[in-house]
Amino acid sequence: MIQHDKFYINGQWVAPKGDGTIDVIDPSTEEVCGRVPSGNADDVNAAVAAAKAAFPSWSTSSADERSGIIKKLAEKITENAAKIGELCARELGTPLKTSIGLHGGLGIGVMSSYIEMPYAMEQEERIGNSLIIKEPVGVCGFITPWNFPLHQIVAKLAPALATGCTVVVKPSSDTPLTAYFLAELIDEVGVPAGVFNLVTGPGRTVGEAMCTHPDVDMISLTGSTEAGIRVSELAAGTVKRVCTELGGKSALVALPDADIARAGATAGGGICANSGQVCAALSRLIVPRDRQDEAVAAAKAAAESVVVGGAFEDGVTMGPVASRSQQESVRSYIQKGIEEGATLVTGGPEMPEGRNAGYFIKPTIFSNVTNDMTIAQEEIFGPVLAIIPYDTEEEAIEIANDSLFGLSGAVMAGSDESAIAAARKIRTGQVSVNGGSFNVAAPFGGYKQSGNGRELGPHGIQEFVELKAIQLPQ
């Protein structure tokens, strides 16, 4: 069992103010695999004070210095990808081989993509007699979720370091071990004291203390829409900048001339990635009504080829969901789909055969779903796909847009041109066309209740920048 009994504050490992602890549960076995301190408002105060004290020097450091730190961190993450994968497998349940490539790989890719970004802060603009310069927003509080324990921190930390911000991180209580390992790497690299601070604890105490703290200038949250609303309400009291990346109910629209079998296989297998715990998961497959059976057959075959098991078992391609509460939530959605009249193609609410422990869910496919059903409207965050038939292309786009969310999506068509034309009509922050892959340098974020702001790439820098206009004499 991995045990931590200190927080990382002001470049040192310091004892928490209270004596509470959090047990980290291995979702493959339901056994305790780690323990970390449970912080309180006093711990947050100490971390924020350290970040505030470090800000004047870090915010005026050279682009060369910040770039060098980011480069060293990218190298450290690369060197330790296997260890990161092992930690994520243990505390999240992602199969080990997948975890190394997915969780370790994303951390490497995102951190590496920011090596040259500090130099963007030196770019100035003239508008008439005004000189427009960029300055870091200040002390940033990061509240991150459990589904991508490293990536969701790095996606915030990299642009913060690039711009000259200082940070306090509160990782999810379900998956804090990876965050602790990142703090160890940061310490090894020699990031100046106070630039990065780590405090673990419940959102209701640590998270809310960060959101209301007068010396925190910006909050960046990745989490549920409910959490985003709460954070925004709390941050409004001190008029903080708030960046949120929230829920999703993304659709894969297969146009009439698409390879429907490919679309079905893509959706049926893709919904099982990271056990369906992906905010941008394509959880709705929208297909021509007269070809629904073809899509169903392909999705069913793909889902049934997924090997469910513990993170360290050989041959496993999908692990458990992250926690008992998540398992219960996903099961309740599956039962709701059955009750509301959707056709259960494969899967179901029962434990996979041969499993008596662990938070496992069967890959589940529903067909004949209507977009007013609960499983078509609410984010399930598990390996559950809803296949929705349509009669016209216009109706397909309407179904895709008939959602509170607008995070991601996909279009498959007989030509890229027709797919792009449809993609332009879908109101989401990202749309993949004919299998286009995820790009760590492209902006990521949502429309509607999927959040505010963007992460990743040069556009992600903007969330951490204040613009100043210096009016010059004419």
Coil, strand, or helix at residue 367? strand
Residue 189 exposure: Cα atoms within 13 Å on the Cβ side: 24
Walk across the sheet containing 451-452 and list its strands.
Answer: 12-14, 7-9, 196-198, 166-170, 139-143, 218-222, 241-245, 451-452
- Please give the backbone phi and psi of residue 250, each rounded to the nearest 5 degrees, phi first: -75, 150
**Maximum CA pair distance of the chain?**
79
Considering the candidates 86, 245, 379, 455, report the single residue annotated as catalytic: 245
Is 245 catalytic? The answer is yes
353: nearest Cα among 299, 300, 308, 303: 308
444: nearest Cα among 462, 429, 427: 429
- The H-or-E segment that residue 87 falls in is helix 81-92
Residue with tokens 């210096």: 470
| Cα distance between residue 161 and residue 172, in whole Å | 21
Residue with tokens 């079998």: 261
Backbone φ/ψ region at 267: left (φ over 0), alpha (ψ -120 to 50), beta: alpha
| Cα distance between residue 412 and residue 256, in whole Å | 9
Q: What's the full length of the chain, in residues? A: 474
In this structure, how many other beta carbons lie within 10 angstroms of the beta carbon of residue 473? 4
Residue pair 196/158 in contact (Cβ under 8 Å)? The answer is no
Residue pair 120/461 in contact (Cβ under 8 Å)? The answer is yes
Is 279 catalytic? The answer is yes
Considering the candidates 33, 211, 279, 455, report the single residue annotated as catalytic: 279
Token pair, residue 375, equals: 């499983």
CA 143 distance to own-chain centroid = 11
| Cα distance between residue 410 and residue 423, in whole Å | 7
| Cα distance between residue 144 and residue 170, in whole Å | 6
- The H-or-E segment that residue 155 falls in is helix 151-163
| Cα distance between residue 57 and residue 43, in whole Å | 23
- The H-or-E segment that residue 283 falls in is strand 282-288
Residue pair 440/109 in contact (Cβ under 8 Å)? The answer is yes
Which residues have a Cβ under 8 Å from the Cβ of 340 and sit 6 or more positions away?
373, 374, 375
Residues with catalytic function: 245, 279
